[in-house]
Structure 1
Amino acid sequence: MSAEVSVTVGDLARALDARGWGELDLKVTGAAEPAATSPVGPNGGVIALAMAPKYAESLQPGSIAILADGMEPQAYGLRAAIFAPRPRLLMAGLTRAFDPGPEIAPGIHPSAVIDPSAEIGEAAAIGPFVVIGAKVRIGRNARIGAHVSIGRGTVIGDDALIHPGARIAHGVTIGLRIIVQSGAVIGGDGFSFVTPEESGIEEIRRTLGARDAIKEQHWTRIHSLGGVEIGDDVEIGANATIDRGTIRATRIGSGTKVDNLVMVAHNVVVGEDCLLCSQVGIAGSSKIGNRVVLAGKVGVSDNIEVGDDVIAGGASKIFTRVPAGRVVLGNPAVKMETQLEIQKAMRRLPRFAQQLAKLQETVTRLLEKG
């Protein structure tokens, strides 16, 4: 992958706070996989991420690479190298340096529809067919892609990046450096309905499964009067949805990263620096602590509290409170070590069934003889 950015190996090493080796004045024009490298030419060349010997074997002699501490660049015929004490962290810095971002022309596109009462910050870039409602405030250096809509009274902080086709409803407050991917919807109505009489759901919760006579029921909407509050340095993935609160706001803490296709329901509070991976669903009024990791397809039931620093393995289903620091797995979610014992026991069940059948045969024969 190449980019229009060009820096020297030495510049890149200093920017990444890493140690350089070899010809540090060589120009780096982009990043690539080891097999896609070639000898550095007069105009520079790409740098490969080869942070293990099995990857470095594909490097072309005369190229540039990022290596792990302890690897020998001479062994691969490199002209220059950067050593990474923590490879993935260095990769974050490298990819940031060469990411050009979406093409959003400076200024306001003439096809954008912006209410006269909206405030647009200095050096903002607003793409074609963007719609910005009344009393919206957009911070400095914001970049807003084509076909984005932003509802009335919403506030978006400085250095926002909102990709094409995102939808941000009215009454949303967003901090600094937000990134919103295409198709995300922030501030849609919560899924909240009630019946005039006790509903079947309420009956089942009360009786734990017993049903009386089943009657017709009709749902009445509970309107969503709250908004959404999002902190600084939050990222919202493609087609993720964050519903507005019923009375108070749904909240996402600073530093939290929300993956594609995540669903955060009304009144949910998510803490700081959390990771919500793809297809996570958090039901209404649940509270997620700080630094929580919910792996793909994790489900959290409504009105549940998940403590700080909890890690939930993929496809776990959380129905009860999870204390701080716990690692859980399974459906229903339990301590990981407990779930592993459950899985071992399940694998033994066929053997136990065979042993039980033999014991039954033995007992039956003994009874017949007796």
Structure 2
Amino acid sequence: MSHCIADIAAALGAEFAGNGALMVRGAAEPQQAGPDDLALAVNPKYADGLAQGGARAALLWPGADWQTLGLQAAIFAPRGRLAMAGLTRMLDPGPAIAPGIHPMSVIDPTAQIGAGAAIGPFVTIGAGVILGTNARIASHVSIAEGAQIGPEALILQGARVGARVQIGARVIIQPGAVIGADGFSFVTPEKSGVEEIRETLGQRDEIRAQSWTRIHSLGAVSIGDDVEIGANVCIDRGTIRDTRIGNGTKLDNLVHIGHNVQVGDDCLLCGQVGVAGSARIGNRVVLAGQCGVNDNIFIGDDVICGGATKVFTNAPAGRVLLGYPAVKLETHVEMQKALRRLPRLAAKVAAIEKVIQKS
């Protein structure tokens, strides 16, 4: 599908210059763009790439001299990445899931399938499932009994939705995600070694045999509207109450959310983040890649944690954290500066020791 420059600019709420009727079929990096592509050069540092490619039109930074760059048309983006969000939405055809129900899928007769739903092959839908209007379900998805899927949801290949899970409107679930597996909950008849060292901070009077008894998961998972869940994400069901993911929250690939966890609205959890059971995360929290959150703690609204931060205690709202264990960003920077100075400090101490020994 082709789009003219004027229509793209209107959709992005941006200004354009030059030939607004010029048609483009896709987007490309400047040096790889052909005559039918819109080159993405939203920063002056990408200008040299335009000369290497063959684009006739480009998405440029405000004030760019598009004619000197050899273009026939240009769209000006005050906020480049935001413009790219709108542009990619226009150009993305989405997954090819035919309307209706594929004959090779199995749907329980008690399930309610909303109008306009599209269900691919090898999908299984259990008893009492409610599937919202215009929901799209790709191949090899399984949706267990009693689950509710909101309107306009998109569940991609091989995802698993457990029993009684509730998923809101316009949710996107990437391939391989598992929503509603049992929580990792076990207990010992006697006080376990883990409980003992938590109380004593490492001291153990006796090491003895112990065995684990399963605590079953009676809760489910509740996911709000406009949530996105990455590939191979795992969200465990709650023990009694539901594990909850708030509206607008985005989970990257390989994120693990433990049982009973409560995640607020508009959070961003990046790849390989792990949140242990019963932790509570406020609204608009950002956890960068490989962050870890201890069980039973609270992270306040608007907290930002840098990559690989490990949070073991409550974090107040608005705090910026980094490190293992997590400390304030400015404290972590000072600690790292001091750490780099240690070899020189050790050499100075050694020199002082030699002087003292000779005296």
TM-score, length-scaled by structure 1: 0.95
Q: Who is 2:303 aligned against?
A: 310
Partners in 2 of 1:324 and 1:133 — Cα distance? Answer: 41
The letter of the residue matching 2:343 is: P
Q: Residue 194 of structure 1 is aligned with which of 173, 187, 195? A: 187
Partner of 1:81: 74
1:147 match: 140
Question: 1:178 aligns to what?
Answer: 171
User: Distance between the aligned counterparts of 1:61 and 1:324, measured in 2?
Assistant: 49
Deviations 1:19-63 (A, max 9, x none): 011000111211111112233xxxxx1101011223122224661
Kindly state the Cα deviation for residue 220 of structure 1 after the two structures are TM-superposed. Answer: 0.5
Q: Residues 104-115 of structure 1 correspond to what in structure 2 (within 5 A)? A: 104-115=97-108
Whole-angstrom CA distance in 1 between matches of 2:197 and 2:283:
33
Aligned to 1:52: 43
Match of 1:135 in 2: 128
**1:50 maps to amino acid:** A
Match of 1:349?
342
How far did residue 253 of structure 1 move?
0.3
Task: Point out 4+ residue stretches in structure 1 off by more than 3 angstroms.
Answer: none
Aligned pair partner of 2:353 in 337, 349, 360 = 360
Q: Given that residues 38 and 55 in structure 2 are in contact (C-alpha distance below 8 angstroms), is that contact kept between their aligned partners in structure 1?
A: no
Number of corresponding residues: 357
Looking at structure 1, the residues matched to 165 and 311 of structure 2 have their Cα atoms a distance apart, in angstroms, of 28
Letter in 1 for 2:7: D
Contact 1:61 1:78 in 2 (8 A): no
- C-alpha distance in structure 1 between counterparts of 2:33 and 2:232, whole Å: 35
> Higher mean Cα deviation, 84-93 or 54-63?
54-63
CA–CA distance in structure 1, aligned partners of residues 295 and 189 of structure 2 = 21
Spell out, residue by residue over 1:70-102, the C-alpha distance to the aligned partner (whole angstroms, 9 max, x if none): 211011110111000100000000001011111
Give the SS at the match of 1:57. helix
Q: Secondary structure at the match of 2:3?
A: strand
Cα separation, 2, equivalents of 1:38 and 1:171: 49
1:270 aligned residue (244, 263, 267)? 263
User: What is the one-letter code of the residue matched to 2:15?
Assistant: R
Determine the C-alpha separation between the residues in 1 that align with 2:248 and 2:55.
40
- Could you say which residue in structure 2 is the equivalent of 1:16? 12
* Residue aligning to 2:223: 230
Corresponding residue number in structure 2 for 1:38: 34
Are positions 1:169 and 2:165 aligned together?
Answer: no
- Please give the secondary structure, in 1, of the residue aligned with 2:211: coil
Q: Distance in 1 between matches of 2:46 and 2:352?
A: 56
Query: How far apart, CA to CA, are the structure 1 residues paired with 2:231 and 2:141?
Result: 13
Distance between the aligned counterparts of 1:117 and 1:291, measured in 2?
38
Q: Match for 2:247 among 231, 247, 254?
A: 254
1:221 offset after TM fit, Å?
Answer: 0.4
**In structure 2, do the counterparts of structure 1 residues 62 and 282 end up closer, same or farther at CA, with 3 Å as the change threshold?**
closer
AA at the equivalent of 2:90? A
Residue 82 of structure 1 aligns to a residue in which SS? strand
Distance, in Å, in 1 between the alignment partners of 2:245 and 2:2 is: 37
1:336 has 2:329 as partner: yes
SS in 2 for 1:74: coil
Of 234, 239, 263, the residue aligned with 1:241 is 234
Matched-pair contact (CA < 8 Å) for 2:42–2:61: yes
Contact 2:187-2:213 within 8 A present in 1 as well: yes
Counterpart position of 1:42: none
Q: 1:298–1:316: 8 Å Cα contact kept in structure 2? A: yes
Question: For residues 238 and 325 of structure 2, what CA distance do their matches in structure 1 show?
Answer: 27
1:28 aligned onto 2:24: yes
C-alpha separation in 2, matches of 1:251 and 1:310: 18
**In structure 1, distance between residues paired with 2:66 and 2:335:** 48
String of CA shifts for 1:306-350, please: whole Å, max 9, x gaps: 000000000000000000000000000000000000000000000
Q: Quick check: 1:65 aligned with 2:61?
A: no
Amino acid in the other structure paired with 1:249: D
Q: Which amino acid aligns with 2:82?
A: L
Question: 1:61 touches 1:77 (CA, 8 Å); kept in 2?
Answer: no
The letter for the 1-side match of 2:78 is P
8 Å Cα contact 1:250/1:268 also seen in 2: yes
**Are 1:215 and 2:211 counterparts?**
no
Counterpart Cα distance in 1 of 2:152 and 2:39: 30
Which residue identity lines up with residue 235 of structure 2 in the other structure?
A: I
Q: How far does the alpha carbon of each residue in 1:85-129 deviate from its partner, in whole angstroms, 9 at most, with x for none?
A: 100000000001011111111110001100000000001000000
Match of 1:99 in 2: 92
Distance 1:193 1:243 in 2: 14
SS in 2 for 1:186: strand
